[in-house]
């Protein structure tokens, strides 16, 4: 059937968009306002038509995949869900603030639509390499696939799309700041009265999360407490910001995933000195930085991640 579908991983789209629209001041989606949800959907449709050369194809629908809190849809999610030709598909947001269940929904829907002959073309707005198998299976059913990423090379924001999907896709397209700024805007957190010297989370690049990663670092006495100059205002972060309970739990889960994804890590941590190999340390901090998604890591976050890695690999005999 000569119809096409657009499948949007909202977590990827909004995370990337927040970093670009804010000019790297934030990667938090709650700092991003979608001013015109209908215009955003039209933007994705036009990018899809251009990428795949769809001059005569009819739209089946747009699938919007997003994690939903236990309290239900947010106002922004509801505005998206109520648009015509948009089908909202819900994953969950766990206690650590992480989106779960979305990847499997996308892969399942893509394979089912392809198997049923419901579509001839599909665009995936995502960066996750886990979709590679779904892309291959849909292609075997005759479906052409485009993957659409979000990047701004001038700002230093990469598309963060896995080679696994960009190499398999029939077409690759990208959204940039000129596309996004027409439908979204950055809403910074409130600045406390009197201003101050604190900065919003503002990574200079992905590599900024790798700075100051001396191996074998130990936490300050009393357990990851910041200096007296640390910010006490929500949403304001600098390198001395203390570790909060939400970030602590996210790091615990993220380190577990990191250990599962790596092989032969025990040899990279000295069981006597507990020093972490520099290369492994860089990989760890990079992983935590990307997983937390709130910009440059604080000293407390880095040190806690390193201690959790030591605990996973040495104390638990991983």
Average pLDDT, the chain: 79
d(CA 179, CA 21): 10
Q: Choose between 242 and 87: higher pLDDT.
A: 87
**pLDDT band per the 50, 70, 90 thresholds, residue 264:** low
pLDDT value at 4 more than 70:
yes
**Ranked by mean pLDDT, which of 58-62, 191-195, 199-203 comes out on top?**
58-62
CA dihedral 129, 303, 207, 151 (to 10 degrees): 50
Average pLDDT score over residue span 72-84: 93
**pLDDT band per the 50, 70, 90 thresholds, residue 210:** very low
Q: What is the pLDDT of residues 93-139, one digit of tens each?
A: 665 566 666 888 899 999 999 999 999 999 999 998 889 999 999 99
pLDDT value at 22 more than 60:
yes
Average pLDDT score over residue span 7-28: 92
Strand order across the beta sheet in which 171-175 lies? 99-100, 86-93, 58-68, 3-9, 121-125, 144-150, 171-175
d(CA 158, CA 205): 9
Domains and CATH numbers, the chain: 3-186 (3.40.50.1010), 206-315 (no CATH)
Average pLDDT score over residue span 252-259: 86
Res 247: pLDDT: 84
**pLDDT band per the 50, 70, 90 thresholds, residue 194:** very low
Average pLDDT score over residue span 35-45: 96
What is the SS3 assignment for 148?
Answer: strand
pLDDT value at 224 more than 90:
no
| Least confident among 164-173, 264-273, 300-309 | 264-273
For residue 103, count other CB atoms closer than 10 A to its CB.
Answer: 18
Residues 6 or more apart from 270 whose CB is under 8 A from it?
Answer: none
Closest by CA position to 121, among listed 38, 168, 56, 52 = 52
pLDDT value at 219 more than 50:
no
| Least confident among 143-157, 204-218, 253-267 | 204-218
Res 271: pLDDT: 62
Res 270: pLDDT: 64
Res 268: pLDDT: 60
Res 111: pLDDT: 95
Q: What is the pLDDT of residues 274-306, one digit of tens each?
A: 677 777 777 788 888 877 877 778 888 888 888
């Amino acid at each position: 059937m000569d119809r096409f579908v657009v499948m949007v991983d909202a977590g990827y789209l909004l995370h990337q968009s927040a970093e670009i629209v804010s000019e790297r001041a934030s990667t938090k989606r709650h700092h991003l306002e979608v001013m015109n949800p209908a215009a955003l959907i039209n933007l994705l449709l036009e990018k899809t038509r251009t990428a795949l050369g769809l001059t005569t194809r009819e739209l089946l629908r747009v699938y919007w995949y997003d994690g939903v809190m236990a309290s239900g849809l947010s106002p922004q999610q509801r505005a998206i869900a109520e648009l015509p030709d948009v089908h909202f598909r819900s994953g969950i947001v766990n206690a650590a603030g992480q989106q779960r269940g979305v990847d499997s929904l996308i892969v399942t829907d893509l394979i089912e639509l392809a198997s049923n002959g419901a579509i001839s073309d599909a665009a995936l707005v995502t960066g996750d390499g886990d979709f590679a198998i779904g892309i291959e299976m849909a292609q075997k059913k005759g479906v052409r696939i485009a993957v659409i990423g979000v990047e701004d090379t001038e700002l230093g924001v990469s598309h963060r799309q896995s080679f696994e999907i960009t190499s398999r896709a029939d077409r690759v397209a990208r959204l940039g700041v000129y596309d996004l700024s027409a439908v979204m805007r950055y809403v910074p957190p409130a600045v406390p009265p009197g201003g101050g010297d604190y900065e919003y989370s503002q990574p200079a690049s992905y590599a900024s999360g790798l700075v100051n990663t001396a191996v074998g670092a130990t936490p300050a006495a009393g357990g990851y407490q910041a200096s007296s100059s640390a910010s006490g205002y929500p949403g304001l972060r600098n390198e001395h910001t203390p570790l909060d309970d939400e970030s602590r739990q996210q790091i615990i889960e993220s380190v577990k995933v990191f250990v599962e994804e790596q092989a032969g890590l025990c040899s990279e941590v000295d069981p006597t000195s507990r020093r972490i190999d520099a290369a492994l340390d860089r990989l760890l901090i990079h992983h935590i930085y990307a997983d937390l998604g709130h910009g440059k890591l604080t000293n407390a976050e880095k040190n806690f991640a390193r201690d959790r890695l030591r605990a996973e690999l040495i104390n638990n005999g991983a």
